[in-house]
Amino acid sequence: MAMTEQTPCFPMSNHTKERVTMTKMTLENFYSNLITQHEERELRQKRLEKVMEEEGLRDEEKKMRRSAHARKETEFLRLKRTRLGLEDFESLKVIGRGAFGEVRLVQKKDTGHVYAMKILRKSDMLEKEQGAKLDGKKDNMLYFPVSQERKVFIHGVRTI
């Protein structure tokens, strides 16, 4: 017999309900982002086709451009899956402090790009029940997610 939302088989604690809600939100965000990313890839492909058509390229040239575009898309997807650690960045200076952590100016070692990195102490946020606030910050600012056991690092999407 299928369970319905109105008649659960067992009572759930508030903690369990919160965890269910957070899991649901996480899954919805994941699949929503996946669909958005797929649509963006298709849009980039259509733009490429349109530009090639406007330029009147021969089939051989179109094939070469499509191949280059596919390589770039693959590299982009690979970079998105890359796990980064604090060791991938060099801290330049602290540019701000707040209740849960600080903001640092950092430089990515391999590319030399400069970012603002927000470093939050997980324990303080969870202690003060600010987990949802943390998730909101990650959704709005996430560029390179870096996480360790006790700290969360959020890198701003803008280079400086």
The DSSP call for residue 110 is T
Same domain, 118 and 131: yes
pLDDT above 90 (res 43): yes
State the Cα–Cα distance between residues 152 and 134, nearest whole angstrom: 9
Range of the domain at 106: 86-155
* Boundary (domain end) residue, out of 59, 81, 103: 81
118 is in an annotated binding site: yes
Asked whether residue 130 is assigned to any structural domain, the reply reads yes
Asked whether residue 7 is assigned to any structural domain, the reply reads no
Same domain, 98 and 61: no
* pLDDT-above-90 percentage for the chain: 34
What pLDDT was estimated at residue 121? 74
Number of domains within the chain = 2
* Boundary (domain end) residue, out of 81, 108, 130: 81
The model's pLDDT over 61-85, given as tens digits with 9 standing for 90+, comes to 999 999 999 999 999 888 888 877 7
Distance of CA 124 to the CA centre of its chain: 22
Look at 49 and 6; give whichever has higher pLDDT: 49
The residue written with tokens 């890359």 in the block is: 82
State the Cα–Cα distance between residues 86 and 15, nearest whole angstrom: 32
State the Cα–Cα distance between residues 154 and 106, nearest whole angstrom: 11
Q: Is the dihedral of CA 80, 82, 83, 88 positive or negative?
A: negative
pTM of the model: 0.53
Same domain, 114 and 68: no
